[in-house]
Structure 1
Amino acid sequence: MQPHVVLPPIDDLSAESATLTWGFALRRFPPELEAEYMRFTFQSYQQTRRKAIVLLLISIVAFIGFDLLLSQHLVSPTITLPAMVLRLCALLIIVFAASRVLKSPDVATGDLWIPIALGSLSLAMLLITVLYLPVVEQMQLPFGLEGMMLIQMAIFFPIGYSYRKSLYLALATLLLTYVAIYLATAEALSMQFHVSLAYLVAASVAAGAAGYCHEHSMRTLFLTKRTLRNMADTDGLTQLYNRRSFDLLLQRALQEAQREHNCIALIMLDLDHFKAYNDLYGHPAGDLALQRIAGVLAGNARRGLDFAARLGGEEFALVLHNPDRTYLASVCESIRKQIHSGLAIEHLKNPAQVMTASLGASFSQADDSPTSLYQRADEALYRAKAGGRNRVEID
């Protein structure tokens, strides 16, 4: 009969599955995940933004040509000239904003200049609509807000811009349109005005709904890709980095340390008599023990560039960025004590009667490769095992 094992419960709800409950357009992820999502969407639409800018510029130039045609045949230049000036101003703002966004493809730049471009376009179209109202009345043409409908659709066009901000801009445009046209419309056009406004509201709702569905799909896609990436990069049992990720991150960390003329430290950890633990308590208990050990290592990766990994079986690694010898020795001893005395996982086949670990560590050198650093840390770990286990060796 196997001995009874008492271990604190492990929460089986991962952070990734918890974030799925936040996958709605009008809600936000937790701050760090939201920032990652905004980078994801902004980068996903780089090509779309370029095409949208070209299409927008062509449309504005076409409208300017239409203004010229009207000024020559139908409308007084006193009306078309201000309209052309407004379009040119919007065109210049959009060109400048586009140059900023294309030259600095980061979320902060997009958050600043995309709403400026869309806002200037909305305001210019609204003022032009007001300017042409006397012409519509004089020529007894049907009153319409087709131009503002196109603006509302443009606001929700998927270019990687925040849906929430698009919604605010669309609502502000709708409100300003109502106020401006209401004040500028003659009494006889009031009925046509309200009918056109109803169409504008319907178009805005349709564009907003489409934008909402698209945002929801993008958030779901983002979570799915992130989950798949994490599954490829992390160990499924412990949620630490796996061996593949460890090799890549170790090489990157070593190159960065050599470039900045500092060092990293690699700590190798191996659980003592772990096969005997599995034989005595069973593999489910062994899995729980590995999860608890992983929690200790993750808790000691305290600085931004530190990381922990499970290399396979009962072997783990922890990389510390630019530590001194005192700090490295302190971390190693703290890990050893936390496993031995803090967790105190019963292990009757271990001389200490509880789960223990041996640790070996080494500092990187100027001419190190990941292989040479790994080899020295592994040799230090071997000395710790050969020296009696439950101890630390630093190269």
Structure 2
Amino acid sequence: MPSQAESAVANHYIAAVQPLPVGFALRRFAPELEAEYRDFSYRSYQQTRRVAICLLLVSFFAFFAFDLLLLYSVGANPITLPVMLVRLCALLIIMFGAYRVLTQPDIATGYRWIPIGLGCLSLGMLLVTLMYHQALEQMQLPYGLEGMMLIQIVIFVPIGYSYRNSLCLGIATLLCTCLALQLTTSVEPRIQYLASLTYLVVATIAAATAGYCQEHSMRVLFLTKRDLRTMADTDGLTQLYNRRSFDLLLQRALQEAQREQTRIALIMLDLDHFKAYNDCYGHPAGDLALQRIAGVLASHPRRDLDFAARLGGEEFALVLRNPDSAYLASTCESIRRKICEELAIEHLKNPAQVMTASLGASFSNASDTTASLYQRADLALYRAKASGRNRVEID
């Protein structure tokens, strides 16, 4: 029977390819998955961010034109200059943030400057709204909160930023607007005042709902793409990398090693007398044995860039980045011993009476191709099997 540790490893690999539960927009995935999702979302909205920044800057210049038109038509007004100064300060901060976001497309920069830009936009529009509100109230002219409604919509525009953070900023903007108007309004609340606040609340709810639906759809898309990618890259039985992924990763690892003037080691593993095991115990038992062997490879201590794969049938491979000879030898022997002594899968058709494995390994060199490295490791594996099986040969 598999040990508790092996079961945990198997469950981890199975969970990686099973359909993940749909995460709602206000929920988070597990930390590693959430970080992967945020990176996916941020990269997906790169073009949308560019368009949104352009529209925002155009809108700012349109507001400046409105202020100038108001100054020209009404004449000198004590609020026009302060309003333009507030808009200018907000514009300068937003332009600097936009420059950082566009020139440094990493998610850390975006998550730093997007909230700063949105916060300045909200605060600037709130100050302008209060200035116009007081001036129009003194002249007993109608006023509204159309500008703040527009800001609430902008806050929830999907640009790859966290929906939870957008929601917090939207609620904070709404509460600050209501409080500021309550404190600056000199008369009892009138129908027009209450109606403006009602429209602002409705606009906030509508924008937040639209943002929620967009975030929910994006998380579903992320999970779907992740599952499809996982199924394409992994072996369905063992949840290790499949042959296609192995070929790509081996080539990449070899190229990186040659570029950095280091080396990799390729370990080939083949189960001894496995056809006889299937004939004796049946294919379901054979499949279970393969899963337990994969559990050994998956749970074996490895460095971050090392990887294991099932090449087909009872053949597996393990690639180690820049190991020394002692580390390679100890790794091979540790895997062989775990399969033979710790798993100890009964195999009466094997002279050892348990499942065993033969391993062949080879180091890469500066002139290697994936084919030449694979050939040397395969020859080492052949020597291990020809020398009696259940042993390790290193080229």
- TM-score category, normalised to shorter length: over 0.9
SS at match of 1:362: strand
Contact 2:360 2:378 in 1 (8 A): yes
SS at match of 1:100: helix
Cα distance, 1:259 vs structure 2: 1.4
Partner of 1:306: 306
Aligned ranges 1:260-299 → 2 under 5 Å: 260-299=260-299
Cα distance, 1:195 vs structure 2: 2.2
Cα distance, 1:267 vs structure 2: 0.3
For residues 207 and 175 of structure 2, the distance between their equivalents in structure 1, rounded to whole angstroms, comes to 16
Contact 2:22 2:220 in 1 (8 A): no
SS at match of 1:284: helix
Partner of 2:151: 151
SS at match of 2:21: helix
Cα distance, 1:13 vs structure 2: 8.5
Cα distance per residue 1:150-186 (max 9 Å; x no partner): 1111001000000011011111111111121111112
Aligned ranges 1:1-395 → 2 under 5 Å: 11=11, 14-16=14-16, 20-21=20-21, 23-74=23-74, 76-300=76-300, 302-395=302-395
For residues 190 and 115 of structure 1, the distance between their equivalents in structure 2, rounded to whole angstroms, comes to 34
For residues 139 and 147 of structure 1, the distance between their equivalents in structure 2, rounded to whole angstroms, comes to 20
Contact 1:22 1:29 in 2 (8 A): no
Cα distance per residue 1:26-52 (max 9 Å; x no partner): 111111111111110000011000000
Kindly provide the amino acid, as one letter, of the partner of residue 164 in structure 1.
R
Unaligned runs of 5+ in 2: none
Contact 1:237 1:291 in 2 (8 A): yes
Cα distance, 1:189 vs structure 2: 4.9
SS at match of 1:77: coil
Contact 1:301 1:307 in 2 (8 A): no
SS at match of 1:98: helix
Kindly provide the amino acid, as one letter, of the partner of residue 371 in structure 1.
A
Output the TM-score relative to the length of structure 1. 0.95
Q: CA RMSD in A?
A: 1.6
Pair 75,198 (structure 1): closer, same or farther in 2 beyond 3 Å: farther
For residues 200 and 211 of structure 1, the distance between their equivalents in structure 2, rounded to whole angstroms, comes to 16
Kindly provide the amino acid, as one letter, of the partner of residue 206 in structure 1.
A
Cα distance per residue 1:129-167 (max 9 Å; x no partner): 011013322443333111111111100100000001101
Contact 1:7 1:345 in 2 (8 A): no
Pair 262,17 (structure 1): closer, same or farther in 2 beyond 3 Å: closer
Pair 160,320 (structure 1): closer, same or farther in 2 beyond 3 Å: same
Pair 272,37 (structure 1): closer, same or farther in 2 beyond 3 Å: same
Residues paired across the two proteins, number: 390
Pair 17,298 (structure 1): closer, same or farther in 2 beyond 3 Å: closer
For residues 188 and 12 of structure 2, the distance between their equivalents in structure 1, rounded to whole angstroms, comes to 68
SS at match of 2:24: coil
For residues 75 and 145 of structure 2, the distance between their equivalents in structure 1, rounded to whole angstroms, comes to 19
| Percent identical | 71
Cα distance, 1:73 vs structure 2: 1.2
Cα distance, 1:387 vs structure 2: 0.4
For residues 244 and 16 of structure 1, the distance between their equivalents in structure 2, rounded to whole angstroms, comes to 18
Cα distance, 1:284 vs structure 2: 1.0
Cα distance per residue 1:43-90 (max 9 Å; x no partner): 001100000011111111001100111111126432111111111111
Pair 18,203 (structure 1): closer, same or farther in 2 beyond 3 Å: farther
Cα distance, 1:15 vs structure 2: 2.1
For residues 289 and 136 of structure 1, the distance between their equivalents in structure 2, rounded to whole angstroms, comes to 80
For residues 354 and 88 of structure 1, the distance between their equivalents in structure 2, rounded to whole angstroms, comes to 78
Contact 1:362 1:377 in 2 (8 A): yes
Kindly provide the amino acid, as one letter, of the partner of residue 195 in structure 1.
A
Kindly provide the amino acid, as one letter, of the partner of residue 145 in structure 2.
L
Cα distance, 1:299 vs structure 2: 1.7
